[in-house]
Amino acid sequence: MNNNNPLSAYVIAGHLAFIVAAPLLFFIGGGAWLAGRLDLPDWTTIAFVLLGVFTMLCSLISYLYSLIKLYGGNEAEKKPSVSVHKDYYYED
């Protein structure tokens, strides 16, 4: 994988912005609007806010974990899937 592509930094930044903004807008904004529209108690607005923050944190941690797994990591830990030894052609 080519890690020197400048466009990949913009794509990752866009993903991070979407991962942070989407749950906050959906749960906090939509939850507050829904609670006001349906005349729900005030604690439901707080529940929607907490749900939005929790969802944002979970998705952000999951995405960052996958980025670390994709781009980071130690090369020494990676083991080949097949044997690289070619000693089966050895003859005495």
Please list the rounded mean pLDDT of every run of 10 residues in the chain (92 residues).
72 89 90 90 91 92 88 63 60 56
91 within some domain:
no
82 within some domain:
no
1 within some domain:
no
Q: What is the pLDDT of residue 69?
A: 86
17 within some domain:
yes
Q: What is the pLDDT of residue 75?
A: 59
Q: What is the pLDDT of residue 71?
A: 77
77 within some domain:
no
Q: What is the pLDDT of residue 62?
A: 92
Range of 30's domain? Answer: 6-72
Give every CB contact of residue 44 below 8 A, 6+ residues apart in sequence.
31, 35
Number of domain units in the chain: 1
Q: What is the pLDDT of residue 50?
A: 92
Give every CB contact of residue 3 below 8 A, 6+ residues apart in sequence.
71
Taking residue 31's Cβ as centre, other Cβ atoms within 10 Å add up to 20
Q: What is the pLDDT of residue 17?
A: 92
